[in-house]
Amino acid sequence: MSTPSEPDLSAVIGERRQLMNLAYRMLGSVAEAEDAVQETYARWYGMSPEQRDAVASPGAWLTTVASRVCLDVLGSARVRRERYVGEWIPEPLPDRSEWVGGRAEGGRDDRADPADRVTLDESVNMAFLVVLEAMTPAERVTFVLHDVFRYPFAEVADIVGRSAPACRQLAASARRRLRDARADAVPAAGQAVLVRAFKDAWEAKDIGALIGLLDPEAAMITDGGGLAGAALRPVEGAERIAQYLVHFADKVPELLLLERTVNGRPGLVAQHAGVTVTVAAFGLAGERVHRIWAVRNPEKLRPWPGHGGPGAPSPS
């Protein structure tokens, strides 16, 4: 019985990071991306050695299978997310230097294998991922493959089971969604200054300062998943958001706010008794905060240092 040569095996395993990057952008979930990649490799090794030897490009085969697995997951995820408690936000990612192994056993705080880390760029910032969530599964997979990873439409068509013209239309529709939803582009340095001012105002419990930093039509979306206290619907309006945050600070006076990179952009992490209980990403419009996405579901905080605690008390 023939077995893969060592270089071939290395090449196959070397595709893992690419597959994780692809799957996370398609699914918005580290856990679901890990499962999709695992399923892809299970199908590869489920073939006979002769079948694997017959694959001209293992990388292309793995990408095709992973994309189709993600397409199936997205279809079922829509049903699951309709039953989700409260708002659903994509899983936030820390800076690569802080990424913790999400599935370590025995409570260890292991650093993740580099292959599990997603490359941070504009295609994973939270505002971008939230728009992707509004797309149909076919739109999302097509857009990620073509516009993010630059696969030609002929290859995308084969992967998603549509014609190349249909895929062009799907990508065009996805681009329109992004254009319609995109706030003013703010450089990361400018966002860092605004996030720092927001942190200072929150720590000072200064409602007036918070209102001044928030767009009048701002909205804050919190995701507790039924496992941590969170608003079940968006908190809308600068004044309501400011009051909510100050009320939260009053109930949890020992809350520690830290400036951290969230999905490649400046954000905030809240820790309580050494445990990461909230990760907040920000969307800006001009010089004000237009959106806050605050993830409190502990299952979505696995990659973050100090994850896994019961969470701070709910402000509600």
Q: Within a domain: residue 131?
A: yes
Q: Is 173 exposed, middle or buried (0-12, 13-18, 19+ CB in 10 A)?
A: middle
Same domain? For 43 and 146 the reply is: yes
In a shared domain, residues 49 and 162: yes
13-27, 133-147, 181-195, range with the lowest pLDDT: 181-195
The pLDDT, as a whole number, for residue 254 is 87
According to DSSP, the residues that pair with 278 across neighbouring strands are 270
Per-residue pLDDT at 63 exceeds 80:
yes
The total number of structural domains that make up the chain: 2
- The answer to whether residues 195 and 156 belong to one domain is no
Note whether 160 and 280 are same-domain residues.
no
Ranked by mean pLDDT, the top range of 7-11, 30-34, 185-189, 219-223 is 219-223
Q: Is 263 a domain residue?
A: yes
At 294, is the secondary structure helix, strand, or coil? strand
What average pLDDT does the segment 63-82 reach? Answer: 90
**In this predicted structure, what is the pLDDT of residue 315?**
53
User: What was the pLDDT predicted at 122?
Assistant: 83
Residue 308: inside a domain, yes or no? no
pLDDT at 185: 64
- 150/12 same-domain check: yes
pLDDT digits (tens, 9 = 90+) for 260-273: 999 999 999 999 88
pLDDT-above-70 percentage for the chain: 88
pLDDT digits (tens, 9 = 90+) for 134-172: 999 999 999 999 999 999 999 999 999 999 999 999 999
Residue 307 lies in a domain: no
Tell whether the model's pLDDT for residue 108 goes beyond 80. Answer: no
The Cα–Cα gap between 101 and 154 comes to 37
pLDDT confidence of residue 252: 82
User: Could you tell me if 77 and 101 lie in one domain?
Assistant: yes
What mean pLDDT value characterizes the chain? 87
Distance CA 296, CA 312 (A): 9
Q: State whether 150 and 233 are in the same domain.
A: no
pLDDT by residue (tens digit) across 229-257? 899 999 999 999 999 999 988 888 789 99
**Is residue 6's pLDDT more than 80?**
no
Find which of 105-109, 115-119, 181-185, 210-214 is predicted with most confidence, using mean pLDDT: 210-214
Is the same domain home to 251 and 121? Answer: no
CB distance 11 to 58 below 8 Å = yes
- 155 in a domain, yes or no? yes
Average pLDDT over residues 175-182: 85
For the chain, give percent helix, strand, coil, nearest 5: 50, 15, 35
- The whole domain housing 29 covers 6-181
Judge whether residue 39 has pLDDT over 80: yes
Residue 153 and residue 235 in one domain: no
Q: Is residue 119 part of a domain?
A: yes
Q: Give the residue-averaged pLDDT of 179-198.
A: 82
**169 shares its domain with 201:** no
Inside any domain, residue 14 = yes
Residues 26 and 104 reside in one and the same domain: yes
Name the residue with tokens 């009053």.
Answer: 250
Whether the Cβ atoms of residue 178 and residue 131 lie closer than 8 Å to each other? yes
User: Would residue 305 count as lying in a domain?
Assistant: no
pLDDT score at 184: 56
The mean pLDDT value for 51-66 works out to: 93
The CATH code of the domain that includes 221 is: 3.10.450.50
Q: Which of 181, 212, 238 is the last residue of a domain?
A: 181
Do 174 and 290 reside in the same domain of the chain? no
